[in-house]
Amino acid sequence: MDAIADYSNEHHRRCVVELWETVFGYETAHNTPSLAIDKKLAAADGLFFVALSGNEVVVTVPDTTAIVDGCTRWRCTRRTAEKA
């Protein structure tokens, strides 16, 4: 089942890290996926979502604005990952 869910567990973390590494590369350690996730979670704003296809994360959605307007960077995340 496809759904948008709150980012909430270790499985989501593993999937998001893998997705971001595939799409963005991260050649330097100053903003690795794990660091970016930790910073987002530290904000404790409840605005970090994942789009799921079955049990797999296929898109990350960083805030409610992205859900409404289809934030270009995150749409590109999915498209680029599909091409990889």
- Encode the chain (84 residues) as per-residue pLDDT tens digits: 688 889 999 999 999 999 888 888 877 777 788 888 898 889 888 888 888 888 888 888 765 444 444 444 444 445 445 555
Instruction: Note the pTM of the prediction, 2 decimals.
Output: 0.69
Residue range of the domain that includes 44: 2-83
Q: How many domains are there within the chain?
A: 1
The answer to whether residues 36 and 20 touch, using CB atoms and an 8 Å cutoff, is yes
